[in-house]
Chains A and B, each alone.
Chain A
Amino acid sequence: MSPSLEVEGLRTEFGLRDRVLRVVDDVSFTVEPGQALAIVGESGSGKSVAMRSVMRLLPKTGRIAGGQARLGGTDLLALSERQMRKVRGRDIGMVFQNAMEALNPTLTLERQLTEHLKWHGICDHAEAKRRAVETLGDVGIPEPEKRIRTYPFQLSGGMRQRAMIAMAMVTQPSVLIADEPTTAVDVTVQRQLLDLLAELKARGTGIIMITHDLGVARYFCDDAMVMYAGRVVEHGPIRRLLSRPAHPYTTGLFESTLEVGARQRALLPIPGSPPDLAYRPTGCAFHPRCGRAEERCGREEQPLLPWPGHGEVDLLHAGAGPERNAERREVACWKAVEHG
């Protein structure tokens, strides 16, 4: 059984010329083996930075200012760079939006897939090659024995994306971070890629999927964490979250999303745009765009609190099975907590 990834109180800051920006602020979550967590948010919400902090792949100006990321008892944030290098690729894999920037254009797939295994001392060359071919076959690349000798640019976009997933899969990591893995591909390919990742999930890998697409999140993930301006505003099982969003921002995202076959559903854009972190609004960062905002929202910071609050029962899903930790919902909005 793979260990789970537990992130607690993660804070990441970026140093600009004249000030420090807190890009990720007090983010906590757990990814259990075989579970998938969606991190949903718009550009600038801190979702990618949070994941790069866990991977310790921040640009030079970035700094982890606090928190822990425990993977089977080790705190990744406390490891030396040398130790961390052993974790990356072996224990935590990563899949990017654009395979072209993640694959080395000067190496064949064989080199890229097997080197990975050899660096981490997982197996010898013959075994590595066997596994590489097998993984390429697993991700649906036809004639893997032949294709393994090709260079990334010789593959089509969808095949390249598959090759990248193969690269992340070959070491059988405990956790896979997928950063918008299907945004750059066509819809017909999207579902195939997600089904591929689902197999990995079924084998016990915990998956974190960064996405702005609620449909993808619903299809693939168990839980969702909605981020806004560097903080978590809502966290809970994805289906419940979508059937009854608690935070006004989640509601807004839902109402801004068009859906095929729902012509009658009103399109209600959220006014304004996500804040520039250098000018983060006081209190709840969403209050300037929120239709339900009151004076209190701009005054008080909003902590994540259990929802429904005050002993209320989420009627829709009462008794939905054995008590699982992830059944809990949390929301950072006093109005939602007090008034449901």
Chain B
Amino acid sequence: MVDVTVEHDDARTGADGAGGYLITADGVDKVFSTRAGDVHAVRDVSLSVRHGETLGLVGESGSGKSTMARLMMGLMPPTSGTITFDGVDLSAVHGREMRRLRARMQMVFQNPYGSLLPHYSVSANVAEPLRLHKRGDKESRRKRAIELLTMVGVNPRFADHYPRQFSGGQQQRVAIARALALEPKLLMCDEPTSSLDVSIQAQVLALLDELRTSLGLTLVFISHNLAVVERFADRVAVMCLGQVVEIAPTEVLFDSPRHPYTQQLLAAVLPVTKDPLPAPATPWQPRAEVLPLREVAPGHFVREA
């Protein structure tokens, strides 16, 4: 099943050489065994994210993008293939060492209320990762939590309130503050604005944009919203049925998509100021087998269709 062709090996190494990457997935497969049989959630995915870069991961439900996020975070082991974070193979580290590594990669979830502890105040929520990693004493942790809350735009006056007392947008700010508490290098954002209202979505995106510049964060930004990814990512990977069908620098992908699925996805978007693109006459039918990924232009990889 793992199909390591010369072409797709290039996707990993790229121009900067292996040293420029913070996180790399190489030929990753993930199979879930269920009562109804095996589900191949991720197939032959090779991705890499440079230091300070934002990689957008787009796809529809069931494309495997969220599974990919959890694999890259080391929250579940891949069935085959390797994931390397900052030069360390995640499958080789366990227990305490793994937990230490996780401090450097943090996650922002789709549902902020669900990801915050309901029985902790927001400052306690933000201080929780520091407490888990035994950083500082209670007083200094609280002080740091308040700094972080201020940084993400939550009034410290409300530090002792509980998550449920905040609006969705403010909850997501708290979740971002918590993710930043351990000063991670990588921020994995899984649909961070999908559950928010339009006007609030824009605020949270603006905040993330500001933070990634000021803190020099590396981001993996997962979304089904193409407009958000176009605005936010330096490079974009399109996933469909567990496979990456196309990876390219953002402008290239949006201006000249090569894979029929990417084209179909872009045609499905309903713009606010223009008429939509014509829908393709015959929708693309995915193939059962895994076809090779080819480099069609520097940094632009397309899977055969």
> A residues within 8 Å of B by Cβ?
42-43, 157, 186-188, 190-191, 194, 212-216, 218-219, 242-243, 252-263, 267-271, 273-274
Contacts and interface: CB of A to CB of B under 8 A. Distances in A.
Contact of B270 (A216, A268, A271): A216
B198 A274 contact: no
A186 B264 CA distance: 12
Contacts of A194: 270
Contacts of A254: 272
Contacts of A261: 230, 254, 271, 274
Given A273-B169, A273-B197, A215 B272 contact: yes
Interface string B164-180: 00011110000000000
B271 A215 contact: yes
Contact of B60 (A187, A253, A255): A187
A270 B271 contact: no
7 contacts: A187-B226, A187-B269, A216-B270, A253-B199, A255-B202, A260-B227, A260-B269
Given A188-B265, A188-B283, A274-B197, A242 B272 contact: yes
A252 B273 contact: no
Nearest to A219: B270
Contact of A257 (B251, B254, B269, B272): B272
B194 to A, nearest CB: 10
B224 interface: yes
Given A213-B270, A260-B254, A260-B271, A270 B60 contact: no
Nearest to A255: B202
Contacts of A243: 273
Contacts of B206: 267, 269
B268 A256 contact: no
A289 to B, nearest CB: 8
Contacts of B200: 42, 269, 273
A157 B61 contact: yes
B273 A260 contact: no
Contacts of A259: 227, 271-273
B211 interface: no
B101 interface: no
Given A188-B60, A267-B231, A269-B202, 20 more contacts: A42-B200, A157-B61, A186-B60, A187-B224, A187-B269, A190-B268, A253-B198, A257-B227, A258-B228, A259-B227, A259-B272, A259-B273, A260-B230, A261-B271, A263-B230, A267-B205, A268-B202, A269-B203, A270-B202, A271-B203
Nearest to B279: A191
Contacts of B60: 186-188
Given A187-B268, A258-B227, A258-B228, A269 B273 contact: no
Contacts of B225: 258
B202 A256 contact: yes
Nearest to A45: B197
A52 B25 CA distance: 49
Contacts of A253: 198-199
B264 A188 contact: yes
Nearest to B227: A258
B266 interface: yes
A191 B264 CA distance: 11
Interface of B: 60-61, 167-170, 197-203, 205-206, 224-228, 230-231, 251, 254, 264-266, 268-274, 276, 279, 283
Contacts of A188: 60, 264-265, 268, 283
Contacts of A262: 227, 271, 273
Contacts of B265: 187-188
B230 A256 contact: no
A191 B272 contact: no
A255 to B, nearest CB: 8
A260 B224 CA distance: 12
Contact of A191 (B251, B270, B274): B270
Contacts of B270: 190-191, 194, 213, 215-216, 218-219
Q: Closest 4 CB pairs between A and B?
A: A215-B270, A269-B202, A258-B227, A186-B60
Determine which residue in A242, A258, A259, A261 has the highest number of CB atoms from chain B within 10 A of its CB, and name it.
A258
B271 A273 contact: no
A256 B201 contact: yes
A42 B224 CA distance: 20
A252 B199 contact: yes
Contacts of A214: 198, 272
Contacts of B274: 261
A260 B268 CA distance: 11
Contacts of B168: 43
A257 B196 CA distance: 12
B260 to A, nearest CB: 12
A259 B60 CA distance: 18
Contacts of A42: 197-200
Contact of B199 (A190, A219, A269): A269
Contacts of A187: 60, 224, 226, 265, 268-269
Nearest to B203: A269
A273 B198 CA distance: 10
B268 A212 contact: no
Nearest to B199: A270
Nearest to B209: A267
Contacts of B226: 187, 260
Contacts of B170: 273
A65 B23 CA distance: 59
A274 B203 CA distance: 13
Contacts of B266: 260
B199 A256 contact: yes
Nearest to A218: B272
A43 B197 contact: yes
Contacts of B271: 215, 218, 259-262
B305 to A, nearest CB: 15
User: Which of A214, A216, A243 counts the most B-chain CB atoms under 10 A from its CB?
Assistant: A214
